[in-house]
Amino acid sequence: MMAKRLPGTSRPLRLSRPPAVALVCLGLFLLCCAFVPRFATFGNIENVLRVASILCVVACGQAVVILLGGIEFSFGASAALASVVTVMALPVLGPVGGLATGGASVIAIGAVNGFLVGRLALPPVIVTLGTLMMASGAAAWLVGGLPIDAPPSAAFSWPARGRVLGVPVPILAALLACAALHLMLAHGRIGRLWYHVGANPVAARLAGLDVTRITTLGYAVAGAFCAVGAIILTSRVASGQPALAPNLPFETIAACAIGGLPLSGGRGRVSQVVFGVLTVAMLNNAVVLINLPVAWQLVLLGLAVLAAVGLQKDWAVLARLARRTDR
Amino acid sequence: MSASDDAPSDDTRDDLALVATGIAKVYGATCALRSARLALRRGRVHALLGENGAGKSTLVKILVGAVTPDAGHIALAGAPVAFGSVTQAIRAGIVPIYQHLSLFPELSIHENLSAFALAAGGGLWTGRRLVDPARARGWLKEVGLDVDLAAPLGSLSLGERQLVEVARALSLDCRVLVLDEPTAALNADEADRLFAVVRRLCASGTAALFISHRFDEIEALADEVTVLRDGRTVIDAAPIGRHSREELTHAMLGAGVEAAPARLSERAAPVLVGRGLAAGRHGRGSLDVIVHAGEIVGLAGLIGSGALSLAATLGGAQAGPGELSVGDASFMPGDRRRAAALGIAYVPADRHAEGLFGALSARRNASVSGLGRLARLGWLRARAEAQMVDPLLRRLKLHPALPEAEAATFSGGNQQKLLIARGLAVPGLKAMVLLEPTRGVDVAARGVIHDAIREAAASGVAVLVATSDLDELMVLAHRYLVVREGTLAAELPRSAPRAALLAALSGSAAA
């Protein structure tokens, strides 16, 4: 009987179990539909998805870093810097070139973070806080503290407002980002290596893996996800904003934590990130619709994160207890 | 030898400072202590011996109140005690001196000496008073330190800091001094000074428990010795000198089973060659090790001898002097990535910290070193992975036979099988370096792992096994290399008797 299960090559195709957060997400959706006025309208749902899509793209990057056992605080600041760089490059390089330059700056910051964490073994919290402050400062310095407007153009607003076959571009970008991350994590070599380094970096080194390179690449790929999010954000606000998305790192970390990714690394699936993002987006939307002050978004989000992490810990304890009584 | 020396089991004698009997402690599935006994007498230095995993550190933790035992009794000067915390134990007079110093380098010597008084102090403000400088100077004088009370502790050498720690013990009514490998960071002079202080303290009636791996120190300082093996006391408070080093080593390692004959393959070309290596941090780079194709070399050494460190160096896992080569290709010590690429498998000694990916599946644990071969254009072929690893897991009788279950859910023996499978799956396997391959592993898994190691050797792989388990050494190795105090002390053929191995391990003259 045991031997039959071992080959594994002829395993029947089965869908993997949905993550626990899917239930939470569904429950919140039903609650919102029932009790939040104007939530269950087509326009509002599309609006939630639009907001969620940007968050989702960036959260995919955050998930890579968390998988590696790290954490990324610099996303919001680098997105802000990207918007400033984009608008300043606009007159010279045009809309496409400008957005590409802005995106490249985010990837560069990600790669620097990766180098500092991977090669120099500095703690990720400190490294990404450092780059957060530098990017934030640089963005404010470049524009002299005030936002600068971008001249309106169709190409420039396409990432935020365009549609492909009726689907808004940001939602399409989120779907593509999820698909790309899923391929990397489930079937790609690099994703597998991220899991190994996140689960036990010492064992990864002794197994012969190049931990430095894997980590550096992970932060750079995370930067690439964030770059896509930054391009959409910049296009949406049509200006260079030195304080563009200060809560972006917190919201993406919250999405991953609510999704059930342990911050110790080594575990996580794309579906968890998606449901975590949807939960965060619905919470934010509900706060606005119920006419609570917007500041409550952060309060609620913080509560949700604490609850999620607390539950995770609880579940782990329960699982361990169950295992002990098994023996 | 007087009659009183021969009656260690009499717990009613009034010179007993501390008696612990029937101490047991279970951690999950591991039985750290089964039935340990330890009796310390006033005014005597008592050495505690035991190999790694014998339960020594657990027993010490129980004595100092850091761990609560599951069973057993502890009596301090005849009165039963049960400590809920280290603080309680310290107040009762059991004062630990740790190898990792528990002092505060940024604070002054005076403040450090006052630490216990401050901890005992009641309120937020009332407790902040330092101890009387005259008393503090008295303690320092007693341990032979002539230093300024106001100087920061950090300005002292490590040896002097350890003496400050002993002086601090004097601030309490210290009845039992627990010295856990106190000389690990000291040079010979500093160690001598510490010993003199301990002897002087004991002369005034304090009992001392002394944990060390160095026979020279034990013979120099201790009056009595207790040996733990497998969670039990096997030698109970014997006077030093009654047992030879060899007998003590034997007691620590166990009588074990008779060696089963292993198939000896013919000597072939050298495969894994190390030149100018060092064993341990302080060793000089002067050791040469050659492992031939098809050969299993047993690297033996007591804890602290440097045997594990030398093996880690040979596996490319630890940096150090010297150079290594496998076949025609050479690599530097510490370049584990290149070593793996050249076909050297490495099984680390600490399964959980250095080996296992607990969150990942059994199959992924086993395949990690062969991922390069499984990927095509960055795409992992799941079928190829299963084909590479699953036969190995079957051969090692992984139980339960669920390659997709998380590694953390398997028992210790089966987790170890995953590490062995990982080694066997290294592409182009030429050599295997295994550290303590069956530590904490049940008998069945041990047999399977030993068979797999022998099979690998029979197929021409050069194998080096470093182990402190003498039985394992004798059933596996074709020849033995004995490491002692950072040097290769002896090379013995397979036919060498157990006594010769024990003699070489402990460094006693009689072979």
- Indicate the domain borders of chain B: 42-68+83-253, 270-506
- How far apart CA B50 and CA A169 sit, in angstroms, is 68
Q: What's the pLDDT score for residue B99?
A: 60
Contacts of B300 (CB under 8 A, 6+ apart): B307, B466, B467, B468, B470, B473, B480, B481, B482, B483, B501, B504, B505
In terms of residue numbers, what domain contains A44?
38-326
pLDDT band at A320 (very low <50, low <70, confident <90, very high): low
Q: What's the pLDDT score for residue B261?
A: 43
Residue A163 lies in a domain: yes
B404 to chain A, any CB pair closer than 8 A? The answer is yes
Report the chain B residue with the minimal C-alpha distance to residue A7.
Answer: B390
Residue A31 lies in a domain: no
- H-state helical runs in chain A: 2-5, 20-35, 42-67, 75-118, 124-143, 154-161, 169-186, 189-199, 201-206, 211-237, 248-259, 270-289, 295-326
The number of folded domains in chain A is 1
Q: What's the pLDDT score for residue B168?
A: 84
Q: A238: helix, coil or strand?
A: coil
Residue A82 lies in a domain: yes
For residue A207, give the nearest of B374, B380, B422 by CB distance.
B422
- Sheet architecture: strand order including B487-493: B344-347, B431-435, B462-467, B296-300, B479-484, B487-493
Average pLDDT over residues B78-85: 86
Q: CB distance B360–A195 less than 8 Å? A: yes
CATH 3.40.50.300 assigned to domain B270-506? The reply is: yes
Contacts of B28 in chain A (CB under 8 A): 324
Q: CB distance B401–A3 less than 8 Å? A: yes
Q: What's the pLDDT score for residue A14?
A: 46
For residue A189, give the nearest of B378, B401, B404 by CB distance.
B378
Q: Which residues pair with B275 in a beta bridge?
A: B323
A204 to chain B, any CB pair closer than 8 A? The answer is yes
Q: Which residue has 């059933």 as its token pair?
A: B475
B58/chain A closest Cα distance in angstroms: 21
Question: Is the Cα dihedral B156, B159, B160, B161 positive or negative?
Answer: positive
Residue A22 lies in a domain: no
Contacts of A267 in chain B (CB under 8 A): 359
A206 to chain B, any CB pair closer than 8 A? The answer is yes
- How far apart CA B278 and CA B487 sit, in angstroms, is 8
Q: What's the pLDDT score for residue B218?
A: 87
Q: CB distance A206–B317 less than 8 Å? A: yes
Q: CB distance B356–A200 less than 8 Å? A: yes
- How far apart CA B445 and CA B81 sit, in angstroms, is 41
What is the H or E stretch that residue B201 is in? helix B188-203
Which of A193, A200, A327 should one mutate to test binding to chain B, selecting the residue with the greatest count of B CBs within 10 A? A200
Question: Which amino acid, one-letter code, is at B459?
Answer: S
Residue A24 lies in a domain: no
Question: What phi, psi does A20 have (nearest 5°)?
Answer: -60, -30
- How far apart CA A269 and CA A242 sit, in angstroms, is 33
A14 to chain B, any CB pair closer than 8 A? The answer is no
Q: CB distance A187–B379 less than 8 Å? A: yes
Q: What percent of chain B has pLDDT over 90?
A: 32
Task: Give the dihedral of Cα atoms B389, B394, B400, B403; nearest 10 deg.
Answer: 20
- How far apart CA A268 and CA A186 sit, in angstroms, is 10
How many contacts does A have with B, using Cβ atoms within 8 A? 100
What would the two tokens of residue A44 be?
A: 């509002």
A189 to chain B, any CB pair closer than 8 A? The answer is yes
- How far apart CA B451 and CA B333 sit, in angstroms, is 29
**DSSP state, B132?**
P
Q: What's the pLDDT score for residue A114?
A: 93
Contacts of A210 in chain B (CB under 8 A): 337
A254/chain B closest Cα distance in angstroms: 22
pLDDT tens digits along A168-208: 999 999 999 999 999 999 999 999 999 999 999 999 999 99
Asked if B465 and B437 count as a contact pair (C-beta separation under 8 A), the reply is yes
pLDDT greater than 70 at residue A131 = yes
Asked if B425 and B456 count as a contact pair (C-beta separation under 8 A), the reply is no
Q: What's the pLDDT score for residue A16?
A: 58
Q: CB distance A2–B28 less than 8 Å? A: no
End-to-end CA separation in angstroms for chain B: 27
B426/chain A closest Cα distance in angstroms: 9
CA neighbor of B453 nearest in space, from B413, B424, B416: B424
Q: CB distance A6–B400 less than 8 Å? A: no
pLDDT greater than 80 at residue B119 = no
Q: Which residues pair with B331 in a beta bridge?
A: B324
Q: What's the pLDDT score for residue A152?
A: 82
Which of A4, A6, A261, A324 should one mutate to test binding to chain B, selecting the residue with the greatest count of B CBs within 10 A? A6
Cα angle B26, B27, B29 (rounded to 5 degrees) comes to 90
- How far apart CA B53 and CA B32 sit, in angstroms, is 7
Q: What's the pLDDT score for residue B388?
A: 93
Contacts of B426 in chain A (CB under 8 A): 208
Contacts of A203 in chain B (CB under 8 A): 348, 353-357
CA neighbor of B194 nearest in space, from B173, B215, B165, B168: B165
Q: Do domains B42-68+83-253 and B270-506 have the same CATH topology?
A: yes
Q: Which residue has 């960071």 as its token pair?
A: B185
Which of B351, B368, B379 should one mutate to test binding to chain A, selecting the residue with the greatest count of A CBs within 10 A? B368
Contacts of B393 in chain A (CB under 8 A): 6
A213 to chain B, any CB pair closer than 8 A? The answer is no
Task: Give the dihedral of Cα atoms B308, B314, B319, B324; nearest 10 deg.
Answer: 160
Question: Which amino acid, one-letter code, is at A327?
Answer: R
Q: CB distance A2–B355 less than 8 Å? A: no
Question: Which amino acid, one-letter code, is at B466?
Answer: A
Task: Please report, for residues A247, B57, B484, the alpha-carbon distance to residue B149 in angstroms, rounded to integers and kept in the order given.
Answer: 52, 34, 41
Task: Give the dihedral of Cα atoms B288, B292, B297, B303; nearest 10 deg.
Answer: 30
pLDDT band at A142 (very low <50, low <70, confident <90, very high): very high
Question: Which amino acid, one-letter code, is at B192?
Answer: D
Contacts of A205 in chain B (CB under 8 A): 336-337
Q: What DSSP letter does each residue of A24-69 carry, written as one string?
A: HHHHHHHHHHHHSTT-SSHHHHHHHHHHHHHHHHHHHHHHHHHHTT
Q: What percent of chain A has pLDDT over 70?
A: 90
Q: Which residues pair with B467 in a beta bridge?
A: B300
A182 to chain B, any CB pair closer than 8 A? The answer is no
pLDDT band at B337 (very low <50, low <70, confident <90, very high): very high
Asked if B260 and B494 count as a contact pair (C-beta separation under 8 A), the reply is no
- How far apart CA A310 and CA B152 sit, in angstroms, is 43
Restricting to B residues 288-327, those with a Cβ less than 8 Å away from any Cβ of A are 317
Contacts of A266 in chain B (CB under 8 A): 357-360
A9 to chain B, any CB pair closer than 8 A? The answer is yes
- How far apart CA B53 and CA B55 sit, in angstroms, is 5
Report the chain A residue with the minimal C-alpha distance to residue B383.
Answer: A9
Residue A210 lies in a domain: yes
Restricting to B residues 356-375, those with a Cβ less than 8 Å away from any Cβ of A are 356-360, 363-364, 368-369, 371, 374-375
Residue A4 lies in a domain: no
Residue A27 lies in a domain: no
Cα angle B405, B410, B412 (rounded to 5 degrees) comes to 155
- How far apart CA B158 and CA B4 sit, in angstroms, is 39
Q: What's the pLDDT score for residue B485?
A: 84
Q: Could you tell me the CATH number of the domain that includes residue A133? A: 1.10.3470
pLDDT band at B53 (very low <50, low <70, confident <90, very high): low
Q: What's the pLDDT score for residue B193?
A: 83
Least confident of A184-193, B3-12, B76-85, B244-253: B3-12
Q: Which residues pair with B203 in a beta bridge?
A: none
pLDDT tens digits along B417-445: 999 999 999 999 999 999 999 887 777 78
pLDDT tens digits along B160-188: 888 888 888 887 778 899 988 777 667 77
Q: B466: helix, coil or strand?
A: strand
Asked if B369 and B316 count as a contact pair (C-beta separation under 8 A), the reply is no
pLDDT tens digits along B17-33: 899 999 988 876 567 78
For the purposes of burial, counting CB atoms within 10 Å of the CB of A43, is it exposed (0-12), middle (13-18) or buried (19 or more)?
Answer: exposed
B428 to chain A, any CB pair closer than 8 A? The answer is no
Q: CB distance A188–B339 less than 8 Å? A: no
- The CATH number assigned to the domain with range B42-68+83-253 reads 3.40.50.300
Least confident of A33-42, A302-311, B110-119, B241-250: B110-119
